[in-house]
Homo-oligomer: A and B are copies of this chain.
Amino acid sequence: MNEQVIKDVLAQVLTRVLDEVAHGDASHAAAHPTGPIPVELSARHVHLSEQDAVALFGAPLTHARDLSQPGQFLCKERVRLIGPKGVMDNVAILGPSRGKSQVEISKTDARMLGVDAPVRQSGDIAGTPGIILASQTGIVGLDEGVIVAARHIHMSPEDAARFGVTDNEKVCVRLCTERPLILEEVLVRVSDKFKLAMHIDADEGNGSGWKNGIEGIIIGKSGSSHGLCGR
C-alpha cells in the first residue's frame, strides 16, 4: 500500500463515522432505520375501577369517543379532582375501567392541587399520593394513584422490529417542534394491542411547543456508552 491508498482509506472511515453521527446513529446501538412517530399530548385524565365508577356515577362508564389506542375510549362522564391546595373540574375519564383507579396529571397540575405526584409509568402507583374524586352525585377518596405519567411510546411488535427496540427499552426521541428538543429515557412499550404513538404530558407539550400533528424521531438508545444520552 502506498500513502495515497492509506489516505483514501482514512478518508472513507472518517466520512462513514461522521455520516453516522449526522444521521442520528451516534449511539452505535440503534442500527435499524427509523421513521417518524406521531406524538400525542396526554392531558390530565382519570382511570377508574368499576367500583369507583359506580360510586361516583351510579353506573358503569359510558363511551363518548374512541382514542388512538385500540379499545381505549373517552367517557361521557367527567370528574372533579379535590386536592389540599386546589380543585380541578371537568377532568376527563378514560375507559375501559381498570383494576385500580389512577389519576394522571402534570407537575403544573400537581402544584395547583397541592399533591406531590411522582413521575411513574402507568399502573405503577404503589406509594403514590391519594386525592379526592367527586361527581354531582358521589365522592370517592383514593388512598393512592396520583402520578405524573412518564413519557412513553406505544408500538406493535412489527414497529419494534422496524425500530430495532424491545419492550421496556428506553430511547432518545427528537421532537420537531417550535422549541425543538431531544427527550431522553423514553420508555418503549410493545404489544400487539398497541398502535404507534408517543405520549407526552401537558408540561412536556407546552415546554416543547407541541402542536397537533407533531412527530418524533428515535435518534438512539438511552444510556449507551457512546450515545448522546445518559451521559
Smallest CB separation, A44 vs chain B (Å): 12
Q: With a CB–CB cut-off of 8 A, which chain B residues contact A150?
A: 179
Smallest CB separation, A218 vs chain B (Å): 13
CA distance A184 to B10 in the complex (A): 32
Which DSSP category, helix, strand, loop or mixed, fits chain A's interface? mixed
* Residues of A within 8 A of B (CB-CB), count: 50
> What are 29 A-B pairs with beta-carbon distances under 8 A?
A1-B1, A6-B9, A9-B10, A10-B10, A10-B13, A17-B17, A21-B21, A21-B26, A21-B226, A23-B231, A26-B228, A107-B206, A108-B108, A108-B206, A111-B206, A119-B209, A151-B179, A179-B183, A179-B185, A179-B204, A180-B185, A180-B229, A181-B182, A181-B183, A182-B182, A182-B228, A201-B207, A204-B207, A207-B207
Within 8 A of B (CB), among A28-80: 28
Q: With a CB–CB cut-off of 8 A, which chain B residues contact A14?
A: 13, 17
Q: Does A126 belong to the interface (CB within 8 Å)? A: no
As for how many copies of this chain the complex holds, the number is 2
CA distance A228 to B26 in the complex (A): 8
CA distance A150 to B230 in the complex (A): 25
